[in-house]
Amino acid sequence: MESEPLYNLLQLPKEVDQPTEEELPRGGKKKYLPPNSRKDPKFEELQKVLMEWINTTLLPEHIVVRSLEEDMFDGLILHHLFQKLAALKLEVEEISLTSVSQRRKLGVILEAVNQSLQVEEQQAKWSVETIFNKDLLATLHLLVALAKRFQPDLPLPDNVQVEVIHIESTKTGLKSDKLVEQLTDKCSSQKDQPSQDAFDELFKLAPEKVHAVKEAIVSFVNQKMESLGLSVQSLDTQFADGVILLLLIGQLEGFFLHLKEFYLTPSSPAEMLHNVTLALELLKDEGLLSHPVNPEDIVNKDVKSTLRILYSLFQKHSLRAEGTRASRGTPN
């Protein structure tokens, strides 16, 4: 749409801070929520649902959020929330009193969040600057992404969109456009959710067969890891740190993983998460992940998720080996 001077496009009420040309440098851009957008019922409902979710999650820590705009900027609540959701510990100071230390802490937190969400920093709709400057839209984008990742059944209102004023400083003065920003999906129907796979059916309809499947996969893993002098006794626990998983992928797919790329003896949940995330990226690159798997689920020793990724390797290499033997006339 064609840009026009700010005063012609919309006369903003006094309660909305407008930048002067001195405050917004040449080429600088900002966006603002006008009062009518802030009062949109679905926009208010989204904030209410997210606040209740955060307060419920952090209830054991006696943390209460009263304003997403005012309470999230310094990283304190975001720090506790992400650690709780991702079941890991971030090496940051608990309380930061200066703006410099708060920005630094926020940077560490957002780096871990982006890694968990598998979002590139350039693609993220939030940043250290926007969160620290109490940008409500950026904060909402971040919290919606966390909720969809860690609490997919949270009843977020569908199709929340608000009118936003984008302001740009040009050589002829301040120009602005009115644009619509989408905060939640237009439809959260079941078709948008990952479909169930064989392991969902197995655990639901034939749980008595799970043990036999685990035994077959453990036998396969031990056969492949024998040359490295490693063995697995418990599928439920020994893959949580990602080490054996990475070594197994390297053996089967012919990868050489330098010791600088992963933690051979991880000593924290964050290091375990790094290993597992790397393993899932390798499997995804090879086209072996037919069903989405969250790295935190592996770290948290979720048996179904662990079986999924191991079966993807078993299916390719064990069944292919059997097919080769069968073509040579060897009994299956």
At the second CATH level, the architecture of 198-322 is: Orthogonal Bundle (1.10)
Question: Which strands sit side by side in the sheet containing 4-5, from one edge to the other?
Answer: 4-5, 173-182, 161-170, 29-32
Q: Tens digit of pLDDT for each residue in 157-170?
A: 888 888 888 888 77
- Per CATH, the number for 42-159 is 1.10.418.10
pTM exceeds cut of 0.85: no
pLDDT of residue 239: 92
Q: Are 203 and 77 in contact (CB under 8 A)?
A: no
Q: What is the mean pLDDT of the chain?
A: 79
C-alpha 140/C-alpha 54 separation (Å) is 12
147: which 2 tokens?
Answer: 């909720």
Q: Tens digit of pLDDT for each residue in 208-248?
A: 777 888 888 899 999 988 888 888 888 888 999 999 999 99
Q: Are 200 and 311 in contact (CB under 8 A)?
A: no
| 63: alpha, beta or left? (left if phi > 0; alpha if psi -120 to 50) | beta
DSSP letters, 118-149, are T--TTT-S--HHHHHTT-HHHHHHHHHHHHHH
Q: Do domains 42-159 and 198-322 have the same CATH topology?
A: yes
Give the confidence band of 1 by pLDDT, cuts at 50, 70, 90.
very low
Domain boundaries, the chain: 42-159, 198-322
Q: Would the pLDDT of 296 be above 80?
A: yes
Q: Are 96 and 105 in contact (CB under 8 A)?
A: yes
Q: Tens digit of pLDDT for each residue in 163-207?
A: 888 888 777 777 777 778 888 887 644 444 455 556 666 666 667
Adjacent-strand bridge partners of 165: 32, 178
C-alpha 43/C-alpha 300 separation (Å) is 34
Q: Would the pLDDT of 144 be above 90?
A: yes
Average pLDDT over residues 35-52: 89
